[in-house]
Amino acid sequence: MKFYGSTNGITMESENIFTAELEFEHDALLGEGPIWDWRTGSLCWVDIEGFAVHRYDPETRNHKIIDVGQYVGSIAIRRSGGLIAALKSGFASLDPDTGEIENIADAESHLPGNRFNDGKCDPAGRFWAGSLALDEKERDGKANLYYLDVDCSVHLMKSGVTISNGLAWTRDERTMYYIDSQTQRVVAYDYDSISGDISHPRTVIEVNALEKGWPDGMAIDEEGMLWVAHWDGGHVCRWNPHTGAELAEIRVPVSRPTSSVFGGEDFDTLYITTARTGLEPEMLARQPLAGSIFKCRPGVRGLPMNEFGG
């Protein structure tokens, strides 16, 4: 189905509803943070609670699990080779071929109850990653958002966060989008690519989590629209950050999609990660594909992801 969405209509039309297809069946506990590694034509993602990084080639269906032995919140491509990762023990480089990990800097050694969550690189090559408290009942405001600069210094960019998620930057490199899932909002910041500073936060999308699920990871497309995974909502929705309107919906046959990334040779396929964690046995029985990778070609392309420059 072709996507003909206009970017100013508030009403979602039926042709803007898609159904995701199964790409790779797996039982990840908390599949998250997908990246498209154009160097190898592969999709990589993390299983945060499975302590693993996955690499998968959609063409050959070759799949590799890299055991990292600890929570791994997110990964990104590293310009000098391999990946950069936000591990429980801090920022580290990861060689996906050998599994070798080299620690770089620990941002939260003083907060042993936290772990890293979603992360992504900005247009200048800094690796941004936020955290969350492992104890769900003691989570409010305990987390932070950092970036690892290309010189490997760590910068605290935002505190008082609850569940750090969903980073994206606009093509003109002037705006950063951010999600603290707890707030049920996507927030835009003015972003300075030279200094890395963010300022002037404003809410651009409001999500009713009880109706639509909690906003989690996000991808940006070539038109500057945001594809937000809705945890407990069973869909990834396309939102217009200029109007706050929902434009399209991809239905996923599991309740906990977590994030998405545009990949494939032309960046025209949206790959979606999902989770099994926290689902009761009877819920899991109704969604046996929870934890798998899904895909959809919504008729709009994404852009290559930014790389870590250090």
40: left (phi over 0), alpha (psi -120 to 50) or beta: alpha
Q: Cβ of 205: how many Cβ atoms within 10 Å? A: 24
Q: In what order do the strands lie in the sheet with 21-24?
A: 21-24, 293-296, 269-274, 257-263
Establish how many alpha carbons lie within 13 A of residue 122's alpha carbon, considering only the half-sphere containing its beta carbon. Answer: 27
Q: Does 149 bind Zn ion (CB under 5 A)?
A: no
Write the CB contacts of 272 (distance below 8 Å, at least 6 apart in sequence). 20, 34, 229, 236, 250, 252, 257, 259, 260, 293, 294, 295, 296
Report the residue from 37, 47, 216, 246 that binds Zn ion according to the rule CB under 5 A.
216
Complex with Zn ion: residue 5 or 216, whichever CB lies closer: 216
Site string for Zn ion, 102-131 (x = CB under 5 A): ----------------x-------------
CA trace torsion 227, 230, 235, 239 (10° rounding): -30
216 counts as catalytic: yes
Name the catalytic one among 37, 47, 216, 221.
216
CB of 166 to Zn ion, least distance (A): 7
Complex with Zn ion: residue 107 or 228, whichever CB lies closer: 228
Report the residue from 16, 89, 165, 240 that binds Zn ion according to the rule CB under 5 A.
165
Report the residue from 31, 125, 217, 233 that binds Zn ion according to the rule CB under 5 A.
217
Complex with Zn ion: residue 47 or 310, whichever CB lies closer: 47
Q: Does 263 bind Zn ion (CB under 5 A)?
A: no
Q: Does 23 bind Zn ion (CB under 5 A)?
A: no
Complex with Zn ion: residue 83 or 229, whichever CB lies closer: 229
Residues binding Zn ion: what is the number (CB under 5 A)? 4
Buried b / exposed e over 84-114, threshold 16 CB at 10 Å, is bbbbbbbbbbbebeeeebeebeebbeeeeeb
Complex with Zn ion: residue 124 or 145, whichever CB lies closer: 145
Q: Which residues carry out catalysis? A: 216
Binding site for Zn ion (CB under 5 A): 118, 165, 216-217
